[in-house]
Every structure is written in structure tokens, then in C-alpha cells.
Amino acid sequence: MTFEVPAHSAQAVAKPASRIRQKNEEAIIKAAEDEFARHGFKGTSMNTIARNAGLPKANLHYYFTNKLGLYIAVLSNILDLWDSTFNALSVDDDPAQALSHYIRAKMEFSRRQPQASRIFAMEIISGGECLNEHFSQDYRAWFQGRAAVFQAWIDAGKMDPIDPVHLIFLLWGSTQHYADFATQICRVTGRARLTKQDMETASDNLIRIILKGCGLTPPAV
Amino acid sequence: MTFEVPAHSAQAVAKPASRIRQKNEEAIIKAAEDEFARHGFKGTSMNTIARNAGLPKANLHYYFTNKLGLYIAVLSNILDLWDSTFNALSVDDDPAQALSHYIRAKMEFSRRQPQASRIFAMEIISGGECLNEHFSQDYRAWFQGRAAVFQAWIDAGKMDPIDPVHLIFLLWGSTQHYADFATQICRVTGRARLTKQDMETASDNLIRIILKGCGLTPPAV
DNA sequence: GTCTATACGTTGATAGAC
DNA sequence: GTCTATCAACGTATAGAC
């Protein structure tokens, strides 16, 4: 698969989108998210997206140069949100408070944007070639910087000496599981869908186990 | 999507598969796993599978009635392995020893059969309609029975009073993450692939955090 | 900006010669 | 059992009238 920046992205920045343009682009992106989240890039058809967006399929090609362009647009939308919460963690924070807050933020993301999480998961499982740009040298440096925050906490004796990298994967894996595997969770527990209450119970449990597992005392909040 | 049992499965049970048949079926299943793991059911083409199996595509339809039949065959292969380790947990076990062993077993599965994990993940993300049969009433009862093992440990005062259901999801999410998101893990850490050593370090960390988080002392092994 | 009509490759699946 | 030839349906993408 080759990577190509959609031709319209520059345009969209240059001049403010018209009322119609904005409305249609939103409808298309929304419909595209639904399909990409269920069937991945290859398994999704422009036909279906067009039908669900309520537009003739030729219009998709007017707003987005091609299928890959649309996919990249959807993916970019997601990535912008994805890493921002992770940046909130800081060396000066109280580890228990910060970790607890981060877990809740990730779980809230899994609850409100499960589609986004699933598109990302599918893309990674499919090899993640569309994310080559995202996973650049900078990204790796950024990730190491984030891991260093945990290491600083450890060096200061504020938490157990755990490999920060694997702690991060534990945080990601356990929270994203509630978005990506929601179907299995519902089937297995007999729920129709995961309610806000379900997700809060899940968050409480994750915080309790992970914090204690790192030698931290959960905040009294 | 409708569910259909492949017509050949009964035949395969009835008479022992010929040498050729077995060899070809294995080649097809192997090639199918690779493709389904990368692109899911909809995104996979019989054409590609045939090419990678080194057979004309008409032969696929000889051995497996249709695409869905092949997919179900692959999926069944996986599910047989999937739950067996989980059944090893027993009320009479020492919780720390049993949990530690289970985490290692799941991680070993993620290392040796990452494709299987990914196919399962894709199927769940896609809605899991092909697993309706698998997620039956029986499965729910089985799951509750597994959760009851943890509850028994808790009632006996052997571990902290944690919601067993969410503990199970934590175990699943954190271990499967190393198979499903291996691409991301490699990009972010700069590794070309996850070695056996990497996976053992990861297991050690998971065991350390989760066991302590449940109020257990890791076994001295 | 919008949408009908259409080009043209690929899909899953089968027929029928070997 | 194997494989070539072929089908209808669907895939992405575009041309060009409005």
C-alpha cells in the first residue's frame, strides 16, 4: 500500500469550508468511521459509505480524492485525540493521582469513541503501514520521554521499580480492551451494551489493581 | 452474515483424510490464517489465499464449500486452543501460582500464535456474528463458572475482594495486547520483532503488577 | 457543487475438460 | 482429484451533463 496525502487537506486549511462542504464532509467521515471500524480498510466499500452517508458515491470522490485519502482523513482525526491525554502525565504529578486520572481518561475514551479505538486496532493488526508517518523517529522519542516520567517516579522512590514500557502497554491494553472487545464482553456477561456505570466499575477495578500493583495507594477521590 | 457449516466437515470425520487431502487442506488453512489475520473476513480474497497456498483457486472451493466455510474452519481451529488454558484454573490451586501460570500460558500463546489472536480480535471487532454459536448460553455459564473460581479464592481470604469478571478482562486484554498490537510495540520500542526474551520480560512485569495488585505474593519460581 | 452513467478491474463461485 | 475458462456481481474511480 502506498501512502498519499489527500489533495483536499491543504484546500480545507486554506479557505474556510462552506456550510454544505462541512456538513457533507462530516456525514462522510461519520459513515466511513462506522464502516472502517467494522471491516478495516480493505473490507470497506465506498459504496456502503456513500449509502450510509446519504450521498451518491461520486460525491465521496469529490471531497476525498480516493479511498485511501478518506481513510487517512479518518485515521488522522483519531490520532489527534489519541495521544493528547498521555501528554498530561508529568514528573511533578503525584503518581497515584496521575495514573488514576489517566486510566479514567482512557476508559472514557473507550466509552465515547469505541469506533476510533477499533479503527486504530484494525490498522495496527493489518500491519499499520498507513501509520508509518505517525510512528516516526519523533514518535519513538516522544514515547521514551513518556516512559521517562514513570522512571523518574521510580527513581524518586514514589513507586515500585517496574519496567515503564511494559506498564504503559498494560495501561493501553487493559483500557482499550473495553472498546475493541466490547462485543465479547457483552456476550459473556449477558449485557446488551456497556453502560456508563459498567465502565466506571471497570475503571475502579483497573485503578485498584494497577495502582496497588505498582506500590501506590489509590487517591481518596 | 449467515452461518453455514461447511459441507466437507462431516466427510472429513467420516473417512480418514488422504495424504494429498491433508497436505492441501493444511496449506490452505495456513494461507487463509495469514490473510484473515491481516484483513479480516471481508477484506480477504480467496484469490490471494489460493496464490499463497500454491493452488488454483478452484481447489479451495473443492476442499471448503465457500469463503465462509473456510473462515469458520480457521476460526474453529483457533477456538479449540483458546479456552483450554483457562480451564486449568481450579479452586484448589494456590491463586498466586495459578494466576502466574495462566499469564505465562497466555503470553506464550501470544508469542507462538499471534495470527490466531489477531483473527479472533478482528472477528470480535467486526461484530463477532460468526461466533454466535460459540458465545452460546453454555459459554456464558462456563465463563461465570471460571469467575466463580476467583470468587472462591476471595471468599477464602486468599486474595483481595476484586470483581472477578473485570480481573479476567484485565488478564485477557493485557496478554493479547502483545499479539494484536505487536506492530505498534515494535515501532515504539525500535525492535524488529518481539523475541522470546522480550515476551518473558513482559510476562514477569505483568505477573508482578497484577499479582501484587490482587494482594498476592508472586511465587518464588 | 451535484449526480447519472459508465469504464474496467477484481470478487466469489461454478462448469466442465482432463 | 485437478485445473482452465468463464460468469454475474461488486469493487474503485471517472466523465460529463446539469
CA nearest neighbour of B221 among B134, B46, B121, B98: B98
B90 with B22, same domain? no
Q: What is the mean pLDDT of chain B?
A: 92
CATH number at residue B35: 1.10.10.60
Separation in Å, CA A126 to CA B20, B34, B122 = 32, 10, 10
Residue at which a domain ends, from B65, B92, B110: B65
Where in the sequence is the domain holding B40, given as residue range(s)? 8-65
Say what percent of chain B tops pLDDT 90: 83
A113 with A208, same domain? yes
d(CA A82, CA A124): 14
Residue A201 covered by a domain = yes
Q: What is the mean pLDDT of chain A?
A: 92
A37 with A136, same domain? no
Check CB contact under 8 Å for A162 and B208: yes
Q: Which residue has the higher pLDDT, A178 or A84?
A: A178
> What pLDDT digit, counting tens, does each position of B65-108 carry?
999 999 999 999 888 887 888 999 999 999 999 999 999 999 99
Here the cell at position A146 is 513518556
Residue A85 covered by a domain = yes
Q: Are A62 and A49 in contact (CB under 8 A)?
A: no
A19 with A120, same domain? no
Residue B3 covered by a domain = no
pLDDT at B12 over 80: no
Residue B131 covered by a domain = yes
Nucleotides on chain C that have an atom closer than 7 A to a protein CB are 1-5, 10-16
Residue A41 covered by a domain = yes
B97 with B201, same domain? yes
Looking at residue B45, its amino acid is S
CA nearest neighbour of B67 among B90, B88, B96, B46: B46
pLDDT at B6 over 50: no
Residue A2 covered by a domain = no
B33 with B122, same domain? no
pLDDT at A7 over 80: no
Residue B184 covered by a domain = yes
Nucleotides on chain D that have an atom closer than 7 A to a protein CB are 1-5, 10-16
> What pLDDT digit, counting tens, does each position of B146-183 carry?
999 999 999 999 999 999 999 999 999 999 999 999 99
Nearest nucleotide, CA B62 to C1': D1
B119 with B203, same domain? yes
d(CA A171, CA A107): 10
B82 with B30, same domain? no
CA nearest neighbour of A107 among A171, A50, A38, A41: A171
Separation in Å, CA B79 to CA A86, A164, A218, B109, B160 = 35, 33, 38, 12, 31
Mutation target vs B (from A120, A139, A188; most B CBs, 10 A cutoff): A188
CB-hemisphere CA count at 13 Å for B165?
20
B108 with B160, same domain? yes
pTM of the model: 0.92
Residue at which a domain ends, from A41, A65, A89: A65
Q: Which DSSP category does A142 fall into?
A: H
Helix, coil or strand: residue A182: helix
Q: What's the domain count of chain A?
A: 2
Question: What's residue A10's pLDDT?
Answer: 38
Residues in A closer than 8 angstroms to B185, CB to CB, are 169
Q: Are B146 and B167 in contact (CB under 8 A)?
A: no
A172 with A120, same domain? yes
Question: What's residue B158's pLDDT?
Answer: 98
CATH number at residue A155: 1.10.357.10
> What pLDDT digit, counting tens, does each position of A94-117 carry?
999 999 999 999 999 999 999 999
Length of chain A: 221
B115 with B33, same domain? no
A84 with A126, same domain? yes
Residue at which a domain ends, from B16, B33, B65: B65
